[in-house]
Structure 1
């Protein structure tokens, strides 16, 4: 499920600043990166057996290198995914997400978006 028009997509931020900012909002990059791309996850537990939800924000380097830590990252549209153990995360529109989870996700992303505004290109 995509969360569009929150002001996160197309934001361009220095990787070091982005890592700090995302960490302040409990988004983790961990090992989810390569030289040109990053993925930040916010893990949400579930009472459903073998199911975990993730708010995921992808980004790609518009200059620099993630490995060297000098990248400038452009963020993409956040998504909500459902992880099925052991198969992986599904983002499709056919997935059913509880309404309270969708509302919680929106609030988390709105708070993040507020902080990212200072980096949004005019």
Structure 2
């Protein structure tokens, strides 16, 4: 991810409304992984949540380093895709909504945050 961001920085800095949307997951939120009764708590994997948590840190650090670019992470939700054997509870269209919305935020939009379909989510 860092290499991709670095490669695109020159083009983003030329844009009138630059934005980066990193696709994260609610599985990256430590508080949900440890909260009993949370669906996230039941997820047995290690690599996926850890990689998404690292992506969140990259999002925050790049947002601080490049305040002229709106850089955010989004959690599209449990979307029916090949990754989960199409067991997700929402369609790809529903999952993509927050990604598209955050890609279209204006220069006064938020940066360094985590968002889902309902809005801002506390880290």
TM-score in terms of structure 1 length: 0.26
Higher relative contact order (CA 8 A, sep 6+): 1
TM-score in terms of structure 2 length: 0.26
| Higher strand residue share | 1
